[in-house]
């Protein structure tokens, strides 16, 4: 998927998601592109919410959000690594959701009343822990919707995941399913009450993203 429709002076790179060993091609890059803008796009391209993304190029130093491709000497055909912030086993949760591994997800605290814990969650009170589980359930829902794991989506919704929850950029599971053309997932999310015209922080709805990403089947389903 391209960040821009203009072909001149633009080039392609690859993005390698460390926790899942997936590689995503990205065209439409340019020297003035900032890491922050790239991360906004990656929330849809890779299915990883903005606040978990750590980007590195050539070494293990995180790329500053305000820096540009030119500043970081990112060249055409280069590979940027995406890794997940490791606190609270988020990397394991992202990997399990990407695989649609329900048994692993359940063990990572995505179900109401889960007894799963991390050193951080053990310090939480009941209300804070409830929010912690709800957030993990939504992240799992967002990623499984992006990857098309319909059985996992069904399970998460039946066990309390909130399909109206949003990423830091205001995107829902429906946004994620739509840009990837996951029509069965779109149908399921809509049947649970997902909102096709709810905008994200950039004013994009699931319907407008379907058009922007050229997902005609998604647009018809919506």
Mean pLDDT for 206-219 is 96
> Which is nearest to 175 in space by CA: 140, 149, 211, 207?
207
- On average, the pLDDT of the chain sits at 94
The model's pTM is 0.94
- Residue 27 has a pLDDT of 95
pLDDT over 60 (residue 6):
no
11-84: CATH topology: Ubiquitin-like (UB roll) (3.10.20)
SS3 18: coil
- Residue 2 has a pLDDT of 55
Percent of the chain with pLDDT over 90: 88
Domain residue limits, the chain: 11-84, 87-221
As a whole number of angstroms, the distance between CA 84 and CA 49 comes to 10
Same fold, 11-84 and 87-221: no
Instruction: Classify domain 87-221 at the CATH superfamily level.
Output: Ankyrin repeat-containing domain (1.25.40.20)
- Residue 121 has a pLDDT of 86
As a whole number of angstroms, the distance between CA 114 and CA 135 comes to 13
As a whole number of angstroms, the distance between CA 82 and CA 41 comes to 13
- Residue 86 has a pLDDT of 80
Percent of the chain with pLDDT over 70: 96
- Residue 3 has a pLDDT of 60
Supply φ then ψ for residue 34, to 5 degrees.
Answer: -90, 155
Q: What is the pLDDT of residues 103-149, one digit of tens each?
A: 999 999 999 888 888 888 888 899 999 999 999 999 999 999 999 99
pLDDT band at 185 (very low <50, low <70, confident <90, very high): very high
3-state SS of 47-88 is CCCHHHEEEECCCCCECCCCCECCCCCCCCCCEEEEEECCHH
Q: What is the pLDDT of residues 139-182, one digit of tens each?
A: 999 999 999 999 999 999 999 999 999 999 999 999 999 999 99
Mean pLDDT for 77-88 is 94
């Amino acid at each position: 998927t391209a960040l821009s429709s203009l072909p001149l002076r633009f080039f392609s790179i690859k993005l390698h998601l460390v926790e899942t060993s997936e590689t995503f091609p990205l065209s439409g890059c340019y020297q003035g592109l900032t890491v922050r803008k790239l991360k906004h796009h990656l929330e849809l391209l890779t299915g990883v919410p903005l606040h978990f993304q750590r980007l590195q190029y050539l070494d293990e130093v995180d790329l500053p959000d305000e820096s540009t491709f030119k500043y970081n000497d990112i060249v055409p055909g280069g590979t940027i690594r995406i890794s997940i912030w490791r606190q609270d086993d988020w990397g394991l949760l992202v990997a399990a959701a990407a695989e649609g591994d329900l048994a692993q997800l359940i063990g990572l605290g995505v179900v109401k009343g889960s007894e799963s814990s991390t050193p951080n969650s053990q310090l939480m009170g009941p209300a804070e822990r409830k929010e912690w589980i709800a957030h993990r359930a939504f992240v799992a829902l967002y990623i499984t919707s992006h990857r098309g794991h319909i059985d996992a989506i069904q399970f998460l919704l039946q066990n309390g995941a909130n399909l109206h929850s949003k990423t830091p950029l205001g995107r829902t599971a429906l946004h994620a399913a739509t840009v990837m053309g996951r029509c069965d997932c779109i149908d399921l999310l809509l049947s649970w009450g997902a909102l096709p015209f709810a905008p994200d922080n950039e004013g994009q709805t699931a319907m407008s993203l379907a058009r922007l990403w050229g997902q005609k089947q998604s647009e018809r389903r919506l």
